[in-house]
Amino acid sequence: MKTDVEELSPTRVKLTIEVPFEELDHAFDVTYKSLAKQVRIKGFRPGKAPARLIDRYVGRGAVISEAVNHAVPELYNEAVQKEDVFALGQPEVEITRLEDGEQLAFTAEVDVRPKFEVPDFDGLEVTVDDAAVTEEQVDDQLGNLRERFATLTGAERPAQTGDHVSIDLSAAVDGEKLEDVQASGVSYEIGTNTMLEGLDQALEGLSAGESATFATKLVGGEYEGREADVTVTVHSVKIKELPELDDEFAQMASEFDTIEELRTDVRTRLEQVRRLQQLSQARDRALEKLVESVDIPLPDSVVQEEIDRRRESLEQQLSQSGLTREAYLESLEQSEEEFEEELTKGATSAVKAGFVLDQLAIQEELAADNSELTEYVVNQAQRMGVSPDQLAQHLVESNQIRVAYTEVVRGKAMDLVVSKARITDESGNEVKPDNASEDESAPAAEEATAEPTEAAEDTEAAAAAEPTETAAEDKPEKS
């Protein structure tokens, strides 16, 4: 086989491959065996017909075409390895010469990773936020804890902002009651403005057993966007009462005996969280600085694939959450043009970061062993809420093991960058990276792409507990 590589651009090459027909014997053997099982020739059992009769039965041209289709991918892969071409995506193949018994020649154009060297990054200067915890932040956390242990008690007065009410809702359009638009026994906190526009104002001043009607636009369902008259009826009004921040609360809400011990523990935990955030920020900013120091061309097709992947991922999330694209953009206060610009910028940065980490791994001869791959799969499975065996099977069946390998190696490359960086906080204090690795390195490594050309994004969720409904005499007693 003769191979020639022509550089069409810094990110695209053209391979010209010429193969004598005798080197296609394996492809023809496979083709004849496959066709012999498909055709039925009198006097021969299935799979036993000789090649000359198959040529006559299906046509020599069809046989050659089938053999070439089988041979070209193998020949292309062999040429890519032989010429040390870092191919990205699928090639555009064109058969340029096909003479029976003589020669097969074809060209393959494909995008390639740009050739470059990562510059020296020893002592890369990175500044991160301070990790100090303020009294106000401690108070906020204790306030959240108090909310979890709040109780609801009945109120013999009109409802007001902050109260919890049990209500019925019904709607009518042009005087006609909508049977499908009504709800009973709905719990709602006045002032949150999380249901219907105008509901909060209508509820204020109502006592148990009273009703009010207000005009609003319906959200969701068959009548979404229609103007309607909504009637709300209050069944009960309850007041949220927060426990006092004292030793009794500390014993009820934690394993500590005093409120000061609880406060100290909250501070310690906040400092740990801020420390992890600080280290994650150091990784992100170190990677950003390193990427900015490299000027490389990017394959348009690879960037476009990443844009499409991110857009598809967003559409799936919106579909699952029931949000429209318009509502999502409105929540971001972005126009369609601004969103697309930001999407393109993020995808471009991710692709470039992936190339930089890949090249760094090559220069530093970084690799991943089986134990590291196993650890990666276990950690990812925990984050996804599936078993490690399920995820491992999925990676194998979808041919994504290379993705896992790439992620592990990129994480090691990122660890190397951070270990050599000079990290200080805004107050000038030096920050020492702990290399706590998997959980902390995941955001930076994944932002650098899930494949050599793909990026993944992390999301965080927070949950708040509803206050406990009790009568005044049902409040928890000190244990």
Q: What is the pTM of this model?
A: 0.68
State yes or no: pLDDT of 313 exceeds 90.
yes
Lowest mean pLDDT across 5-19, 230-244, 435-449: 435-449
Residue-wise pLDDT for 27-58, tens only, equals 888 888 888 777 777 667 666 677 778 777 77
Residue-wise pLDDT for 140-170, tens only, equals 999 999 989 988 999 889 999 999 999 999 9
State yes or no: pLDDT of 323 exceeds 70.
yes
pLDDT at 461: 32
Residue-wise pLDDT for 331-343, tens only, equals 888 999 999 999 9
246 φ/ψ angles, rounded to the nearest 5 degrees? -135, -175
Are 414 and 121 in contact by the 8 Å Cβ rule? The answer is no
Pick the more confident residue, 456 or 310.
Answer: 310
State yes or no: pLDDT of 430 exceeds 50.
yes
Q: Comparing C-alpha atoms, which of 131, 185, 449 is closest to residue 309?
A: 449
Q: What is the mean pLDDT of residues 317-330?
A: 86
Pairing, β 164-173 against β 103-112: unpaired
Other Cβ atoms closer than 10 A to 168: 15
The whole-angstrom separation of Cα 40 and Cα 38 is: 7
Q: What distances in angstroms separate CA 288 from CA 125, 350, 447, one per listed residue?
A: 11, 10, 11
The whole-angstrom separation of Cα 374 and Cα 388 is: 9
pLDDT at 468: 42
Q: How many residues does the chain have?
A: 479
Q: What is the mean pLDDT of residues 257-261?
A: 95
Domains of the chain: 2-112 (3.30.70.1050), 151-241 (3.10.50.40), 259-447 (1.10.3120.10)
The whole-angstrom separation of Cα 352 and Cα 407 is: 15
